Structure 1
Amino acid sequence: MEKNALTLTVVANMTANFGQGLGNISSVQKTFKRGKAYSIRTRESLKNAIMDQGLLYKDLQVVVDGATQKHVSEEVNNSNCRALEGGYMNTGKVTYKRNSSFYFTDAISCYEFINEPRFQNNLYQASKFAEQENLNLQDEAKKCGLMPYQYEYDKGLKIYSFTIDLERVGVDENFKMEAENAEKVERVISTINAIEGLSLVVKGSLDNAEPIFVVGGLSNRKTHVFENVVKIENGKLVLTQDLIDRVESGFSAAILETDLIKNVKEVKEALNTESMFKFFETIREDVKSYYGV
């Protein structure tokens, strides 16, 4: 069978994203499994971060017509607008809908959530305002806009999966139009590059979310092949026979030299891992070969 999909499962040291706040309190997104809470970075957050960092949103056009939505027309569609690769639904005079050609799972923490609240305030700005207006910050804190706030902080190993249908990249079924293969390669590689060097801005701080461990490659299955076999327990990557067999069936793996995973040496030996640089370079070359570019 032809390998017409690209699938990756990634372990990264990243923060969770925030859900709804209550007053000056922000809480992270969570999911519940086996009666326990685990922090997550949602698939929507991951998708938007990678689309943005991969510059796929650079040509995004937005319209407000009863709802805020991506602009779609015969002149602007997925064949010539990279921002529409992630899917769209436009409800103008005619409703156009196209599913994304790639999918993410939520990035779910490897460990049960433990709340680590952080307390901050805007003291510096309030002090400058008090100085400008000749106010007493201690007695007139409200006038100076002094505002304490609290948020949950969570950063740790999280696992997510990514799969892209290479046959659908650059294809817009609604308008019977298709991008050139060179453009398809650019879109896929831009996404891969964003995953390889992913960084997130969280509460004004830069968060390095690059892969610590990654496994995958071109596949004849348009699904998250490694979603159910990559696990972290007690700081170690679990080396099950299912994981080993799947890697040996035509996939590759890479791991960073890091103390975030305790059994790096065993992982290297069991999965015959490559360097992170070589892994992603091979993926890029495989994508070029698939499209004949």
Structure 2
Amino acid sequence: MKKKALTVTVVANMTSNYSEGLGNIASVQKVFKNRKVYTVRSRESLKNAIMVQSGMYDDLQTEVDGATQKLVNSELNAATCRALEGGYMSTKGTTYVRKSSIYLTDAIACESFVSETRFHNNLYLASNYAKAQGKNIQNDADGVGLMPYQYEYDKSLKVYSMTIDLEMVGKDENFGAEASAEEKAERVNAILRAVETLSLVVKGNLDNAEPVFVVGGLSERKTHYFENVVHVEEDRLLMTDDLQAKIGEGYRTGLLKSRVFLNEAEVEETLHPLSVSAFFDALADDVKKYYGVD
């Protein structure tokens, strides 16, 4: 069978995104599974970060026509505009729908959630304002804008998968348009470069979310092929028979030698991984070969 998709599953040490807040209290997003609560970075948040960092949203144009949506027309479509590769629905005039060629899962924590609450305030700003206004911050806390706040904090190993439909990249059937092979390869590899070096800005702080372990490659199946076999327990990457069997079907692994995994030596001995950078370099070459732009 012809390989027609690219799939990777990533283990990364990243923060969660935030859900609804209550007053001055912010809580991280969570999911319930296996009778426990786990923190997550949602697939929507993850996809947006990857699209922005990859430069795929550099040519994004939006319009407001009842709803805020991506601008789409015969000149601006998925073949000519990289930002539309992530899918769109345009309801202006004729309704056009084009599904995304890039699919992600939620990034779910490997260990159940243990609440860690951080407490902050804007004391310096309030003190600065009080001084300028000749007020006493202790006697007039509300008048000078002193505001304590708190939020849950989570940075933990999380697992997520990404699959790209290589046959769909650069095509827009709504307008009978298709990008060049060179453009298709560049779009896919821009996404891969973003995953390799992913950074997130959370609560004003820069968060390094690069992979510490990654597995995958070109696939005959358009599915998250390794989603169910990559597991971390107590900071150990599980070397299951199913994981090894799937890797043996022609896939690669990449490992960042960072001592994140307590069984790093076992991972190296069992899987013989490439470095993370070498993994993505090899995958980028595979993408170029697929599109015939070697």
Question: After TM superposition, is the score higher than 0.5?
Answer: yes
Q: Per-residue CA shift, 1:157-182, capped at 9, x if unaligned?
A: 00000000111001011101001111
Partner Cα distance (2:290, 2:226) in 1: 21
What does the per-residue CA deviation read over 1:42-91, in whole Å, with 9 as the maximum and x for residues that have no partner? 00000000000001111111111111111111111001111111000111
2:274 aligns to what SS in structure 1?
Answer: coil
> Unaligned stretches of 5+ in structure 1?
none
Aligned residue number for residue 119 of structure 1: 119
SS of the equivalent of 2:167 reads coil
Matches within 5 A, 1:9-158: 9-158=9-158
Distance 2:73 2:144 in 1: 49
Corresponding residue for residue 218 of structure 2: 218
Aligned to 1:282: 282
Q: What is the CA deviation profile of residues 199-246 of structure 1, one whole-angstrom value per residue up to 9, with x for unaligned ones?
A: 100000000000000000111111001000000012111111110011
Local SS of the residue matching 1:72? coil
Q: Which amino acid aligns with 2:154?
A: D
SS of 1:40 mapped into structure 2? strand
Q: Structure 1 segments of 4 or more deviating over 3 A?
A: none
User: Corresponding residue for 2:233?
Assistant: 233
Q: For 1:250-281, what per-residue CA distance to the aligned partner results, in whole angstroms no more than 9, with x for missing partners?
A: 00001111222111111111111111111010
CA distance in 1, matches of 2:238, 2:191: 28
Aligned equivalents of 2:171, 2:52: Cα separation in 1: 20
Distance in 1 (alpha carbons) for counterparts of 2:74 and 2:103:
25
Supply the distance in 2 between the matched residues of 1:128 and 1:193 (Cα, whole angstroms). 43
Counterpart CA distance in 1 for 2:268 and 2:6 is: 22
Shift of 1:285: 0.7
Q: CA deviation digits over 1:117-175, x for unaligned, max 9?
A: 00111111111111222221111111211111110000110000000011100101110
> Equivalents in 2 of 1:278, 1:98: separation in Å?
33
Structure 1 Cα separation of the partners of residues 96 and 134 of structure 2 = 58
Q: How many residues matched?
A: 293
3-state DSSP of counterpart to 1:287: helix
**2:162 aligned with 1:169, yes or no?**
no
What amino acid sits opposite 1:5 in the alignment?
A
CA distance in 2, matches of 1:168, 1:156: 34
Residues 1:271 and 2:239 are matched in the alignment? no
Give the 3-state SS of the residue equivalent to 1:132 in structure 2: helix
Letter in 2 for 1:262: L
Give the Cα separation in 2 of the matches to 1:138 and 1:190.
53
Cα distance in 2 for residues equivalent to 1:133 and 1:80 = 55
Residue 193 of structure 1, CA deviation: 0.4
In 2: Cα distance, 1:52 partner to 1:135 partner: 44
Residue in structure 2 matched with residue 188 of structure 1 by the alignment: 188
Q: In angstroms, what is the RMSD of aligned CA positions?
A: 0.8
Cα distance in structure 2, aligned partners of 1:144 and 1:259: 47
Extract unaligned runs of 5+ from structure 2.
none
Q: C-alpha deviations, 1:10-53, integer Å up to 9, x for none?
A: 00000010000011111011000122100000000000000000
Q: Does 1:206 align with 2:206?
A: yes
Match of 2:215, SS?
A: strand
SS of the residue 2:115 aligns to: coil
In structure 2, the partner of 1:247 is 247
Give the aligned residue type for 1:107.
A
Residue type at the aligned position of 1:222: K
Q: State TM-score, norm by structure 1.
A: 0.99
Mapped partners of 1:62, 1:84: distance in 2: 11
Q: Determine helix, strand or coil for the equivalent of 1:213.
A: strand
